[in-house]
A and B are shown apart, each in its own frame.
Chain A
Amino acid sequence: MIAESLVLAAILFVVGTFGVLVRRNAIIIFLCIELQLNAVNLTLVALSRLHGIDAQIFVFFVMTVAAAEAAVGLAIIISIFRHYETVDVNNFNLLKW
């Protein structure tokens, strides 16, 4: 079941990456990043069956950082929405070359 979990995590990560690449709604891009983090968590939990419980501790930290990241990221999205009246990333090109 460990190898299958790793494959499942790879598929989830790739679907998340695809979402980040093709969607234009900033909130959905953010959601796909959470999906990628979750795929990495699944990898760590699967590998904890091989390398011990330290991997599960790491998953705990990843979840905490993801919660903090979600709070700050959503605050940034709200602040962007106040400024541009949209969350479509095509309109945010100030830092684009």
Chain B
Amino acid sequence: MADILFYVFASIAVGGALGVVMAKSPVGSLLFMVVTLAAVAAEFILLEAHFLGAVQIIVYAGAIMVLFLFVIMLLNLGHDYARDIKGGLFSVLSFAVVGAMAGLLVRGQGAPAGSGGLSGPGAAAIDAANAEFGVVGAIAEPLFTTYVVPFEITGILLLVAIVGALVLAKRHV
């Protein structure tokens, strides 16, 4: 069952990704991106990363994509359907390079033997943590102990990003 679902969501994700690249209008591209993000969130959940699946929907599909949509509407690009995919030799060359990259990645990424299904060496630890702390607690426990300094630095990064975005987008500073 999980395998079938995996392939269903994988094809949705790849189809959405192709839609992002091929869609004519920026808004169409964006909506395809939301489809892809939702499918990837489903893959997260199938891989037993429930918290990240929820965060993917809330932060990516909910917040970041709406930010993109705001900018597209603000710049009034929604009806600019000029053909903007580069054609000719460059396109063929990109396909060749990208295909070679895909081949290399897939060949180099063979999973270690005996890792079929969901059972890896780390899976037992994650399942135990999920059982002990709950799905959110399993992530929160290392986040607020081992990784507390990077976590705080992330807060500073977000503050700097807000200030930077304001300064860049403001007409007169």
Q: Determine the chain A residues whose CB is within 8 A of the CB of B74 once the complex forms.
A: 78
Is the pair B14, A8 in contact by a Cβ cutoff of 8 Å?
Answer: yes
Interface string of A60-75 (1 = CB under 8 A from B): 1101111111111011
- Complex Cα distance, B47 from A23, in Å, reads 32
Is the pair A50, B115 in contact by a Cβ cutoff of 8 Å?
Answer: yes
Q: Determine the chain A residues whose CB is within 8 A of the CB of B33 once the complex forms.
A: 31, 34-35
Interface string of A3-33 (1 = CB under 8 A from B): 1111110111111111101111101101110
Is the pair B43, A5 in contact by a Cβ cutoff of 8 Å?
Answer: yes
Is the pair B111, A67 in contact by a Cβ cutoff of 8 Å?
Answer: no
Known A10-B105, A53-B142, A60-B143; contact A71-B67, beta-carbon cutoff 8 A: yes
B-side interface mostly? helix
- Complex Cα distance, B46 from A41, in Å, reads 14
Is the pair B68, A54 in contact by a Cβ cutoff of 8 Å?
Answer: no
B93 → A minimal CB distance (Å)? 9
Q: Determine the chain A residues whose CB is within 8 A of the CB of B55 once the complex forms.
A: 60, 63
Report B's interface with A, CB cutoff 8 A. 2-3, 6-7, 10, 13-14, 17-18, 20-21, 26, 29-30, 33, 36-37, 40, 43-44, 46-49, 51-52, 55-56, 59-60, 63-64, 67-68, 71-72, 74-75, 77, 84-86, 90-91, 94-95, 97-99, 101-102, 105-106, 109-112, 115-123, 125-126, 129, 138-139, 142-143, 147, 150, 154, 157-158, 160-162, 164-166, 168-169, 171
